[in-house]
Structures are given as structure tokens and as C-alpha cells.
Amino acid sequence: MFRIAELRKRLLFTFGLLAVYRLGIFVTTPGVDRGAMKSYLQSSGGLLSLFNLFSGGALEQLSIFALGIMPYISSSIILQLLTVVIPALEKLQKEGELGRRKITQYTRYGTIVLSVIQGFSIALYLESIGTASQAAQGIAAGVKVVQTPGWGFRLLTVITLTAGTAFIMWLGEQITERGIGNGISLIIFAGIVARLPDAVVQTFLQFRSGNQELSETKLLVLGVLMVTVIAIIVFFERGQRRIPVQYAKRVVGRKVYGGQSTHLPLKVNSSGVIPPIFASSILMFPATLGAWIPPLQKVADVIQGGGWVYNSLYVGLIVFFAYFYTAVTFNPVDVADNMKKHGGYIPGIRPGKKTAEYIDKVLTRITFGGAVYLAAICVLPTVVMAYFSVPFYFGGTSLLIVVGVALDTVQQIEGHLITRNYEGFTGPRGPRIRGRTRIAAA
């Protein structure tokens, strides 16, 4: 990889900006106690733990990057959903590069708006930590994160966190344009991977301390299970159903166009990691509100993470959002119309309505397999941690993102190598890593 000058510059540029992002994690927001916030997060959990995961631990550090890239991802998802219901945005999306730039601009504006709202909410929430109501519940009793609350602190926090999110957004766009891989995805990837060494150390210390529940045999089984889960994720993320498509010959003047055979690839997991993210957010929301509103505490206790009620709801929501997001992002009618306009057809299927119905039927079936796969991977950590009693993340959304981004980045690196006829990495038979759609940030 480092023998090609352009690829070497892109890799070094990517590593450099990721290093800047990781350094910014440890720059604390003015006016807060970082140690108090870390102890509070360890005792509370809830929706804040999910934000802390995707921000790479920036929330527990009360960093200027505490909001992470989640506002940008939320804004992207909202714009993507609005293009289905708003004709003006749908028309703009079909205008090519100019339309995509306009939608990207709207996404940036939405990111700033969401950052201001979330920053103000976090400022109010930080001021409430250590109050009498939370001390009565045993949450961070006697610990105050904010020493001088008031409107000055709130405005400063909103400006700081919004600027931090805007800077991360800029870093991600620069990595995408001048580096390797999708910048937003790599930022999330770096935040998750940065927490893995601590998890490995904690597991090793627990084993050295003579924990009866973590024997050498269980540790070996644990390692084999982790490798197996990664292999399963790679298998399903690369899996696709290829529908054969035939294009009729067209004579234009003295030239003959078309007549070739190709295929329409339908991914098994076309929704990516969006379903687990949505499902986790919805189920963790009552737990977060339960700390503020006492009547909701009973609901939060019923759907406590790790219980059978939580797992059942989690699986159901993942399946629902897998179908919902696939239906929003993939329109079989548009695909069938485009095939018909260019003289394409599926052998044995009539063009037009029948083709759309056939594609929808195939997509519905393979989406069920993808939804079951997502649910199994996301529920696996609960089962494994209940059996091994180890504070280590073996699956779920984080591992899906890590493996998916790794596949996408390797694919782009191989693309640069193939264009320069370099066989040392790709091999004489072509690339080993096939294409994969980008994750939530795309």
C-alpha cells in the first residue's frame, strides 16, 4: 500500500485527521467536572451510554466532541426519509451532482440545528446531575458535574459542543475527499476501536484475579466465539442475491448497442446498522426519562437491558426497522421503470409492473434473513455476558460498524491498487474483498 505515492499520502492524511479527532476527545468543555461525569455514567447507563459509545468515550470525558457525529448521522437519516415524502427533495436528489450538493448543504444546516438542541439539553442535564432527586435514587449522590450553573454555562456549552460537532463533520468530509474510506464512518470506527484495548485489559485482569466464572476454557471459547461472530458478519455483509438482467439490442445508425447480460445485486442486509441504532435509541429512551420522571421508572425497570422483555422488544424493533428502512431507500417500481427505459428485462418476467412485483417479492424474502441476522448479532452480547460475566463487547451495533467500515475501507484501498495494476495485495485472480454499501453515515 505504501509503495504508491498517492495512496501513501491518502493513508497518512487519514491517520493524521483521525489522530486530531482522538486528541480532541480529551479537551474538556469549560465549567464541568470530568471525573464526576465519568462516575455518573458508570452508574446510570441509558441513552447516554449509547451516545458515549458512538462518540468514542467523549461524553464521559465531557469533551468538546461530546455530541460526536450523531447529529450529522441523524440529519442525514432525516433528509433521506424526507426525500420520500417531499417531492421537491426527491426531484433534487435525481438532479445528479448538483442536487446531491444541495442535499449535503441541507444536511449540514440540519446538523447545526440538532447540535444546538442537543447541546442545550445536555447543558440542562449536566446541571441536574447531583440534585436531591437523583441523590435520593442513589445516582451520583453528592456529586455535582457543573460547579457554576446558569445561562452563562448553558450558552458556553451550546457554542462549544456545536463547534465541536461542526469540526468533526469537517474532518469527516476532508477524509472522504482527500483520504481513504468514508470519513464519517471512519470517525465512528476510530471511537469504537479506541475503547477495545481497555476492554481487553479489563478481561485479562479479571482472569488474573482468579475469577471463578472466567476459566481458561471459557476464555478460549470466548476467543473462538469472537472470531466466529466476525466471520458471520463478513459473510452476511458480503452476501447478495443477483437477479439476472438481459438488455435487448438496439440499432442506432450503423452501431448496435446493448445485448449484454448483467445482474441486479440485492444485498441481504441492505439496511446496514440503521435498525439496531433506531431500536436501541427507542428502548433506552424510557430508561433515560425514568431518572427524571418517577412514574416512568417502573416502565424502565420492566424493559431493563438484558431481560427477556427487552430482548423480545429489541428483536421485534430490529425486524420492523429493517423492513421499514429498506422500503424507504429502495423502490422496486423505480428500478423496474429504469430497466424498461433502457431496454432491460428479467428473463421470464414481463417488464413494468410484473418486474417490480418480482423484485419486491425477492427483496422481502432476503430482508427477512438480513433482519434475523441483525437481531441475532445484536442480542448475542446479552447472552454471552450473562454466561461469561465479562465486561467486553462481543457483538451488536459496534461490531457491525467496525467490520463494515473495515470492509469498505479495504475495498477502496484495493480499488486504488487495481487501477495501477498492482497484484501484490489483490492477487493474480483479482480483488478478494467485494463491494459493500456504506453504513448509516452514507
275 and 385, same structural domain?
A: yes
CA dihedral 384, 389, 395, 399 (to 10 degrees): -160
Say what the pTM is.
Answer: 0.76
Please write the tens of the pLDDT for every residue from 304-343. Answer: 656 777 788 888 989 998 998 888 888 888 888 888 887 7
What pLDDT is attached to residue 56? 67
**Phi first, then psi: what are they for 256, rounded to 5°?**
-110, 125
200 and 190, same structural domain?
A: no
Start-to-end CA span in the chain (Å)? 25
Contacts 24+ apart (CB under 8 A), 423-428: 425/1
In a domain, 89, yes or no: yes
Q: Beta-carbon neighbour count of residue 117 at 10 Å? A: 13
201 and 156, same structural domain?
A: no
In a domain, 427, yes or no: no
In a domain, 2, yes or no: yes
Q: How many domains does the chain have?
A: 2
226 and 130, same structural domain?
A: no
Q: What are the CA-CA distances from residue 397 to residues 174, 285, 324, 373 (Å)?
A: 25, 17, 18, 12
Domain boundary among 194, 214, 239: 194
What pLDDT is attached to residue 155? 93
Sole residue written with cell 448475542? 380
Q: Give the separation between CA 267 and CA 271, rounded to whole angstroms.
A: 9
186 and 245, same structural domain?
A: no
42 near 20, Cβ under 8 Å? Answer: no
Q: Find the radius of gyration of the CA atoms of the chain.
A: 24
76 near 107, Cβ under 8 Å? Answer: yes
327 and 238, same structural domain?
A: yes
User: 187 lies in which domain range?
Assistant: 1-194
* Strands 249-252 and 261-267, bridge-based pairing: unpaired
List the CATH number of the domain containing 89. 1.10.3370.10
What pLDDT is attached to residue 55? 67
Q: Beta-carbon neighbour count of residue 407 at 10 Å? A: 17
User: Which of 61-85 are b and which e, b meaning 16 or more Cβ less than 10 Å from the residue's Cβ?
Assistant: bbbbbbbbbbbbbbbbbebbeebee
What pLDDT is attached to residue 226? 82
209 and 185, same structural domain?
A: no
Domain boundary among 175, 194, 213: 194
Residue stretches of the chain with pLDDT short of 70: 41-57, 130-143, 207, 210-214, 250-259, 285-306, 385-395, 420-442
Q: What are the CA-CA distances from residue 267 to residues 124, 220, 365, 442 (Å)?
A: 43, 33, 11, 16
What pLDDT is attached to residue 138? 44
240 and 139, same structural domain?
A: no
**Phi first, then psi: what are they for 63, rounded to 5°?**
-80, 165
Query: In DSSP terms, which residues pair with 245 in a beta bridge?
Result: 262
In a domain, 310, yes or no: yes
Q: Give the separation between CA 408 and CA 7, rounded to whole angstroms.
A: 16
